[in-house]
Structure 1
Amino acid sequence: MRLFLLGILVIAVGLAVSIALHEVGHLVPAKLFGVRVTQYMVGFGPTVLSRTRGETEYGIKAIPLGGFIRMIGMYPPHKGEPPGTIREDSTGLLQQITELSEEAKQYESSLYGPGDAHRTFVALAVPKKLVVMLGGPLMNLLISVLLMVVLVSGIGLPAVTPTVQTVSECVVPADAPADVSCEGREPAPALAAGIRPGDTLTEIDGQEIHSWQDVTTSVRASQERTVEIVVERDGELIPLEATMVIDDRPVLDEDGAAVRDAEGNLVTEQVGFLGVSGTPDLVPQSPAIVPEMAWSAFTRTGELVLTLPVRLWEVGQAAFGTAERDPNGPLGVVGVSRLAGEVAAAEQPGFELREKVGTMISMLASLNMALFVFNLVPLLPLDGGHVAGALYEGARRLLARLRGRPDPGPVDMSRMLPVTNAVALVFILMTVLLLYADIVEPITFFP
């Protein structure tokens, strides 16, 4: 139970730090551009701890599931308000949701004098507005990529290493069952050569071995001849000789997986056969593969967001019906916390501390990628809604300039308040659904 709670604590702290840095992504450019930022908060609800530095109050709130910065003048004055009226509003999704009903009745704000008009968000040029609003999501993207670098180059990715795990006793057909008898069959070249489990293959037929792919390439390219194989055993390099055989072996794809035909049968080819299997392990890789990983994570997350209504319907069927829950579907806070606890407390063979740390890092990288993609959705109160508004403002001003008309001024995004209320209600319902589903039909790592 202690390890389970530790896992929850680790993911909670990681998520809180990610949210805090998201808001830093908004805060820094806003201050650089001269916008008056009155609050920087991690969490929402009652304030637990705060301290004012300069004109900004920095603090922590009771419910650490969000964050926000509060800037003055995110919307221009409404009709009937005195010129120079300046309101303040926040960037945080949850914070805005909790304030929407109050905003609908009266525009909650501290009023500032006309002298602050040049320090409002609405007074910024369109490119600066985009920088401020995209700063938060881009911070999550940066965190996700950095965590992937740590995972790839520090912890390593699952791969098969040249350390021998098993040695075949004989040469058997590629599609033979695991318990096939070796009676009357030719001994495997590796067994005859004296290769043992635990040996690390360092050289085959004069070719240095650095990965299991090197082993596969060298062995398959060999003919029916005797080749020299060097293994490392107990820190000592030992030269051995193996007489290779040609046998029907599975054709491998780019990922090293066996190729099957339309009927599901193995596709084979005549290649060299040694008779050893490598040892699965976490192997550090070059950070050069991170961009491809990040793009893959982005596209998967984007697909999830685009199909979110369908995925939520499926979650509802699993929670209230008999359907099975999709392990790759959306998760709520409870679900993520449960998975983190399972990872920390797991006692699965081969799933030790290094694997657990790598899984935790992978989870945090995925969460940050989700925050990046989700916040780009062009709906208020998400950051993407403000981005869409700034782009519309820029297009409207450009069109007016091309037509020789007066500057139409900034777009009043507060006119979208009814739509914002509807979106907020959907978010609340989605959160409640995922909370319930995570309790009654949880997704688990180790079923």
Structure 2
Amino acid sequence: MTTLLTVLGIVLFALGLLISIAWHELGHLSTAKLFGIRVPQYMVGFGPTVWSRKKGETEYGFKAIPAGGYIRMIGMFPPGKDGRIEARSTSPWRSMIEDAREASFEELQPGDEDRLFYTRKPWKRVIVMFAGPFMNLILAAVVFFGSSMILGYETQTTKVGGVQKCVIEQSPKGKQREQCATTDPVSPAHAAGLLKGDKIVAFNGQPVEDWNTLSDRIRDTIGPATLTVERAGKQLDLHPTLIENKVLKKDEDGKVVQPLTTVKAGYLGFQSQTEVLPLTFGQSVDRMTDLMQSGVQSVIALPGKIPDLWDAAFGDGERKQDSPVGVVGAARISGEIMAVEAPPERILSMMLSVLVMFNISLFLFNMLPLLPLDGGHIAGALWESIRRHTARLFKRPDPGPFDVAKLMPVAYVVAGVFVCFTLLVLVADVVNPVKIT
């Protein structure tokens, strides 16, 4: 049964992946057609075509390798200075440029002269290229808000999930000893009689309704305190004496600061219980904002994670929980989620969270101002707009469209780096995967 559920999770992730890719390309397709650009092809996947059908002037279809997708627009790059579509050169770099230029015109038909991508105003080209990633952001937002407000979101509560028997300093590496030593002092929570299942409703006479508030008050207190808890339908007061201990540093939002750092603070000694609770619209906005910020930080931190990823893939290094994962890793995680013993609504919530993070990653990754990514074309259009406005301001001749094709050698280098990184992540996902169980 576990194997069947794991396979089901992988299949559901693959389906979500295909939907996300198709949705992304639909953004490009719809805006391109809106601005009169001819689009010969709309494809989900790469490699040999599995199925296709032509409707109007566009061929729609699926390809064998579901690792991406594309639409083909005619005239992605302007012709050379001599006005010709093709130009030949013995230079390999020049050949790259002209091959890309030729490919963008290979399906040119009579009457298409005013339907070329490069002839559209820069702001229209920005919209066409931005529409793809933006569709991923929209999908992520819709799925997240629906999931968090209907199914709920895993949230730390003031309910006690477990009580530490002794005081153990938190390690800056995020790990602690699991067994108490004879020299470890008894934890204040255990000494005061706090039990698993208790719900803390007040701290020193002040009501507490959420975990962050309770955590802040505990950290700010060293010495005698009064805990008011609900137990078996009744309220009772407990009187622990909080001590100073090394704990993980948190930010203003109550999240553990990265990289992990310890600080000295008041310590009680219990674990809060997490529950899936529906969020309000405002809380969902805050959570979505946090996810976006976390995604941006992850993209920025990617280069610094390559050494650890290499050690995890080809050495004996530990695969960290925040390590980058690829399609194979995400599919494996989805399979593990489906096999977890948990209520169906919680499993569904976790599966949708994977889909949300995948689409946020697609949005952020594609917005990088590098060819061949969408962000590279956006940067080229913006640069052209700046050049033309500057020329108009100083009454100089119009410099014409910016020839993005000249950046194709750079695009090949960038694509090569991305391919190498993808292969590294793939190996790590296979030999040393990130696990949730």
Q: Given the two structures, how large is their TM-score scaled by the length of structure 2?
A: 0.74
Q: Offset of 1:130 from its aligned partner?
A: 0.7
Give the 3 Å change call, closer, same or farther, for CA 101–62 of structure 1 in structure 2.
farther
Residue in 1 that maps onto 2:289: 292
1:302 equivalent among 292, 299, 302: 299
Name whichever of 389-398 and 408-417 sits farther off.
408-417
In structure 1, distance between residues paired with 2:22 and 2:239: 60
Q: For the Cα contact (< 8 Å) 2:5–2:339, is it kept in 1?
A: yes
Residue in 1 that maps onto 2:175: none
Residue in 2 that maps onto 1:364: 355
Residue in 2 that maps onto 1:16: 18
| Residues 372-407 of structure 1: per-residue CA shift (max 9 Å, x gap) | 122122222111111121122112212221232222
In structure 2, distance between residues paired with 1:258 and 1:386: 37
Residue in 2 that maps onto 1:442: 432
Where do residues 263-282 of structure 1 align in structure 2 (5 Å cutoff)?
267-268=265-266, 279-282=273-276
In structure 1, distance between residues paired with 2:71 and 2:337: 33
Whichever residue aligns with residue 390 of structure 2, its letter is L
In structure 2, distance between residues paired with 1:38 and 1:258: 49
**Is 2:376 the partner of 1:385?**
yes
In structure 1, distance between residues paired with 2:396 and 2:40: 36
In structure 2, distance between residues paired with 1:315 and 1:188: 40
In structure 2, distance between residues paired with 1:372 and 1:217: 35
Q: Offset of 1:216 from its aligned partner?
A: 7.2
Where do residues 80-99 of structure 1 align in structure 2 (5 Å cutoff)?
none
**Is 2:293 the partner of 1:312?**
no
Q: Given the two structures, how large is their TM-score scaled by the length of structure 1?
A: 0.73
In structure 1, distance between residues paired with 2:420 and 2:250: 44
In structure 2, distance between residues paired with 1:247 and 1:315: 40
Q: For the Cα contact (< 8 Å) 1:167–1:190, is it kept in 2?
A: no
Residue in 1 that maps onto 2:136: 140
Give the 3 Å change call, closer, same or farther, for CA 435–101 of structure 1 in structure 2.
farther
Residue in 2 that maps onto 1:70: 72
1:339 equivalent among 303, 327, 333: 333
Where do residues 181-260 of structure 1 align in structure 2 (5 Å cutoff)?
198=197, 210-212=209-211, 231=230, 233=232, 238=234, 240=235, 242=237, 248=243
Residue in 2 that maps onto 1:112: 109
Whichever residue aligns with residue 10 of structure 1, its letter is L
Residue in 2 that maps onto 1:124: 120
Q: For the Cα contact (< 8 Å) 2:333–2:436, is it kept in 1?
A: no
Q: For the Cα contact (< 8 Å) 1:190–1:242, is it kept in 2?
A: no
Alignment gaps of 5+ in structure 2: 87-95, 170-178, 183-187
Q: Offset of 1:127 from its aligned partner?
A: 0.9
Q: Offset of 1:124 from its aligned partner?
A: 0.9
Q: Offset of 1:66 from its aligned partner?
A: 0.9
Q: Offset of 1:71 from its aligned partner?
A: 1.3
Whichever residue aligns with residue 370 of structure 1, its letter is S
Q: Offset of 1:341 from its aligned partner?
A: 1.8
Give the percent of matched residue pairs that are identical in Structure 1 and Structure 2: 37
Whichever residue aligns with residue 69 of structure 1, its letter is I
Q: For the Cα contact (< 8 Å) 1:319–1:436, is it kept in 2?
A: yes
In structure 1, distance between residues paired with 2:421 and 2:210: 46
Give the 3 Å change call, closer, same or farther, for CA 389–226 of structure 1 in structure 2.
closer
Where do residues 34-53 of structure 1 align in structure 2 (5 Å cutoff)?
34-53=36-55
Whichever residue aligns with residue 422 of structure 1, its letter is V
Alignment gaps of 5+ in structure 1: 87-99, 181-185
In structure 2, distance between residues paired with 1:446 and 1:226: 36
Q: Offset of 1:435 from its aligned partner?
A: 2.5
Give the 3 Å change call, closer, same or farther, for CA 429–189 of structure 1 in structure 2.
closer
Residue in 2 that maps onto 1:89: none
In structure 2, distance between residues paired with 1:8 and 1:422: 32
Q: Offset of 1:257 from its aligned partner?
A: 9.1
Give the 3 Å change call, closer, same or farther, for CA 343–399 of structure 1 in structure 2.
same
